[in-house]
Structure 1
């Protein structure tokens, strides 16, 4: 602590910045604490239970069902919970298999979990009740979009990264044009194309689920950024690693799987985590095409005039949830980096 204080006031400019930071922290932190904690209302069940001196967290507690599940029927929300469990188990299982270099198994586990979670979320298994996409929403929809998007984008991005480094000019050109095009187009435009124009190219009588169209748009967009992060890692792998693997008799596929990709992913981990954080925040853009994720459900809840002005409470809650999601991703990324450095040092 003493060393921290000394470094904070080590010279004139540093002392000035420290003093300004303290002024901002105290000047903004104390009123925020008074509003969010000390003068806030936490207990109640109706708008009349809020004194309006501080934050009305009663609003959040009473609207929790809508914020977490959208308009999904309350008696069927167990289907959503089951879908979240399937998605989490699929991601964990795929990661565990990938750590053992069982790439095909990891892809199969993830594909199965994605298909199953989507089916369970919509209630399309025997014994379940089907729920239309229009009633999906809230934080669970955000998590489902992220869970599906991050895995599909990573797999597709890996293929694009290898395509950009291919010896075949045609494959390299197609991958390069795709990545540069997708990185140059706003996600909102891609979502509009996926939602509005994609059905026009389907065969007559075919119907594309709205959620699937949105997932396709998000994955096509995010995979281009994943591809660049992975390609940077592949380019940074020393040539000697490949040559040593070939000298030991490893095939091209085993060299990529056992030698090149583990090193490349370790190098590109910061970029991959950054892309995942961006994806977590970009899911909020689906409100533009009429799907109410966490942010959309928050806006609908704020629109309930019986609660009065709860704008700050609603957006503060949504912002806190997004911050926690991004913080958890960064924390996992840092732990993986530390673990990778320890493994390399052995």
Structure 2
């Protein structure tokens, strides 16, 4: 008997709707109710934010419509991005951001070659170049103190430094907590539980206000540096628990098999155990990074004006009283864009690295 041909694959929008939204009477009713609510909520938002909005102007007098006044955002866009960074020197921020974007694209696109070179440049060369470019004071560049940094620039600096420092420190803490050496394990456990047991606001307050009281007067540490250290320590404790969950998910036989081949501890950990563990907890690591990125707004309490802080400072201007909604919506869109991008990339990594696990 001849084999029958497989049925033709049927697809399209109507098939997807019938399968996912209207597969039965109850699902159809729920879908219609939700669709009605979405239309009732989204339509006024679109009307306010796009159709009736004012886009061009230089003052609040230009906002004569009933919609959003995006003139508040456009007139302060430079301050929202650069904070109080001197206008003649903002090209240094642009160059730094352009270099970071190129290196990031080089690392995340699989088809681009020389990934090791890109990684070395990102970890070692770029931080040095960015430090001298942004801070200045050498190579003929004017010095720009960190108190003048702000806006989206400061948010990206805090988030990038926090993520880059917290991940390797978290990995070391996770390995130390699973160590067979009592002293190392005790130190890591105390570190992790201490930093996970205090709010980030308290950490920032201690780093900004209390820390200078316990050090000699001649030892002055920049306020931004203190905040970066506190944020890195705080989130490394959470990162350590995420990595530890991945290490516990790896069967003990993997380590024993590597030891049977004559590999030392660091070889077994770096070549066999850790790659598998990190692959399993990609979503947890990215979720922690997203939380870190959103919590950068807390630096406002120690006098650092990040993206949200600059927008809030602009709302205190008497010329723009009553336009807080537009500023907060714009900040929410920017935060959503960055967090959504990280989330989507983590899903891509999970699909690309999914090779099964036994």
For residue 118 of structure 1, report the CA deviation from its aligned partner. Answer: 3.1
- Matched residue SS, 1:213: helix
The residue number in structure 2 matching 1:23 is 36
The residue number in structure 1 matching 2:21 is 8
The residue number in structure 1 matching 2:313 is 300
Alpha-carbon spacing, 1:335–1:222, altered in 2? closer, same or farther (3 Å): same
The residue number in structure 2 matching 1:143 is 156
Judge conservation of contact 1:101–1:257 (CA < 8 Å) in 2. no
Residues 1-346 of structure 1 aligned to structure 2 (within 5 Å): 1-6=13-18, 7-11=20-24, 13-88=26-101, 110-341=123-354
**Alignment length (residue pairs):** 341
Q: Which whole-Å CA distance do the structure 2 matches of 1:204 and 1:5 have between them?
A: 68
Q: Which whole-Å CA distance do the structure 2 matches of 1:161 and 1:150 have between them?
A: 16
Q: Which whole-Å CA distance do the structure 2 matches of 1:250 and 1:16 have between them?
A: 61
TM-score by length of 1: 0.91
Alpha-carbon spacing, 1:20–1:123, altered in 2? closer, same or farther (3 Å): farther
Judge conservation of contact 1:237–1:264 (CA < 8 Å) in 2. yes
For residue 258 of structure 1, report the CA deviation from its aligned partner. Answer: 1.2
Alpha-carbon spacing, 1:91–1:43, altered in 2? closer, same or farther (3 Å): closer
For residue 301 of structure 1, report the CA deviation from its aligned partner. Answer: 1.7
Judge conservation of contact 2:107–2:115 (CA < 8 Å) in 1. no
- RMSD across aligned positions (CA): 2.6
CA deviation vs aligned residue, 1:222-261 (integer Å, no higher than 9, x gap): 1011101111111111222222222223222121111111
Judge conservation of contact 2:106–2:115 (CA < 8 Å) in 1. no
Alpha-carbon spacing, 1:203–1:111, altered in 2? closer, same or farther (3 Å): farther
Q: Which whole-Å CA distance do the structure 2 matches of 1:344 and 1:254 have between them?
A: 23
Which structure: greater helix fraction?
Answer: 1
Q: Which whole-Å CA distance do the structure 1 matches of 2:265 and 2:181 have between them?
A: 15
Q: Which whole-Å CA distance do the structure 2 matches of 1:304 and 1:250 have between them?
A: 64
Judge conservation of contact 1:194–1:217 (CA < 8 Å) in 2. yes
Which shows bigger deviation, 160-169 or 3-12? 3-12
The residue number in structure 1 matching 2:4 is none
Judge conservation of contact 2:176–2:188 (CA < 8 Å) in 1. yes
For residue 120 of structure 1, report the CA deviation from its aligned partner. Answer: 2.1
Q: Which whole-Å CA distance do the structure 2 matches of 1:187 and 1:43 have between them?
A: 40
For residue 100 of structure 1, report the CA deviation from its aligned partner. Answer: 9.6
Question: Runs of 5+ in structure 1 lacking a partner?
Answer: none
- Matched residue SS, 2:281: helix
Q: Which whole-Å CA distance do the structure 2 matches of 1:55 and 1:274 have between them?
A: 32
Q: Which whole-Å CA distance do the structure 2 matches of 1:11 and 1:80 have between them?
A: 56
For residue 126 of structure 1, report the CA deviation from its aligned partner. Answer: 1.6
CA deviation vs aligned residue, 1:200-223 (integer Å, no higher than 9, x gap): 232330110011011011101110
Q: Which whole-Å CA distance do the structure 2 matches of 1:118 and 1:28 have between them?
A: 46
For residue 182 of structure 1, report the CA deviation from its aligned partner. Answer: 1.1
